[in-house]
A = this chain, B = another copy of it.
Amino acid sequence: MEVANRYITIKTQVDGEPKESDFELKTSALSLSLDSGSNDMIVKNLYVSIDPYQINRMKSHSSSQKAIGFAAAITPGEAIDAYGVAKVVASANPEFEKDDLVVGLITWGDYSLLKGGNYMLRKFDPMGFPLSYQVGILGFSGLTAYGGFFKVCKPKKGEKVFVSAASGSVGNLVGQYAKLFGCYVVGCAGSKEKVALLKEKLGFDDAFNYKEESDLKSALKRYFPDGIDIYFDNVGAEMLEAAVANMNTFGRVAVCGVISEYTDAAKRAAPDMLDVVYKRITIQGFLAADHMNVFSDFISTTTDHLRTGKLYAIEDVSNGLESFPSAFIGLFRGHNTGKKIVKVADE
C-alpha cells in the first residue's frame, strides 16, 4: 500500500524574516510496507510544534549551532523536522505498534518516515489531557518555562519577575509558574488583547504593550519602581538592555531566546556591563534539554495545577498542512497568542 505524502520544505536557506515564498509544498509517494528488521516506522502526524528557533536552522550561516552540533541545519528540499504528536500507521520496530500515540521528532508533513530505530520518539500517556498539550504545556515549551524559571532563575518568594514575549508559548507559562510560586510578575506583549489576557486570565500582576512605549528603560522603571530581581528574556536586544538597567543587585537574567535578533543579524543587545558588575547580575543562556532531570517534577506539578484549574494552557492552533508556513512566519510578526501549533490531522 502507498500513500501520497505532502510535506513542507524550504526552497533555499532563509536569512532575515521568513516569507511565504521561502516555503514549498511537495508531494511524494510513500510506501507503507516496511522491511521487517529495519526498525523503520511510519507515523501519521497530528499536532506539530511551531517554534521560533527553527529559523536559526534555516539560515545559511549559524555559528552557534555549528559550534555545538545542536539542531543541525535544515536541508532545502527535505521535509522540515519538528517536535510533534503522531500516531503509528506502520512499524517494523517491535517496540511500537500500529495506533500507538507517540511524541517526538516528526515532520512538517502528513506522514513521517522514521528510519533505523534511532529516532527521537516515545510513546506517551495523554493522562486525560488533549493530545496537543504534549507539544506545548506538557512538552518542551512547558519544560523550558519550568526549568528556566526554577533552575536558572532560582526564584525566591516575593521576588519581582519580568517576562518578555509574555503571551508566547514559554512566556505565558513562566508568568503563571511565577505567580503560583509567589512572585510579583509583570509581562510585556505586543497587543492590547495579549495584555488583557495576561492580566485578566493568567493572573499577572501587571502587563504592558511594549509597542506603546517609546522608552523601554523608563517603562520598566514605572512597572518596577523597586527594581527587577528576575528577567526571563525571550526577545533580546533593547528589552534586555532596559531590563539590566532596571535590575536589582544579584539579579538574574535567564536568556531563553532572542526572537528580535533571529531575523536581523545586525540586532544585538549591548547591556551596560558596569551595571552587570556593580549589581552583580548573572545573565545565563539555557536550553530545555539541560533540564531533563526535572522532567518528572515538571509533569507532576504542571498536571496537578492543570487539574485544579490553577494553570491555563493557551494554544493557538492552525489547521491543515498548508498552514505551516503562515503559522511559522506569524511567530516573527507576533501573530500567535500562546503555544503555536499546527494540527495536521484528526486522530
Contact = CB atoms under 8 A, between A and B. Distances in A.
B283 A282 contact: yes
Name the 9 nearest CB pairs between A and B, nearest first: A268-B270, A276-B285, A64-B278, A270-B270, A277-B285, A258-B273, A283-B283, A282-B284, A64-B274
Contacts of A255: 273, 276-277
A96 to B, nearest CB: 31
A236 B273 contact: yes
* Chain B CB within 10 Å, residue with most, of A257, A261, A281, A284: A284
Interface string A259-296: 00110000011111111111111111111001000000
Contacts of A261: 273-274
Interface string A222-250: 00000100000000100010000100010
Interface residues of A, number: 40
Interface of A: 56, 62-65, 67-68, 70, 227, 236, 240, 245, 249, 255-258, 261-262, 268-287, 290
Nearest to A236: B273
A256 B245 CA distance: 18
Given A64-B277, A258-B277, A282-B282, 8 more contacts: A64-B278, A67-B227, A68-B279, A258-B274, A277-B286, A277-B287, A283-B283, A283-B284
Contacts of A258: 273-274, 277
A278 B59 CA distance: 15
A45 B194 CA distance: 62
A245 B236 CA distance: 17
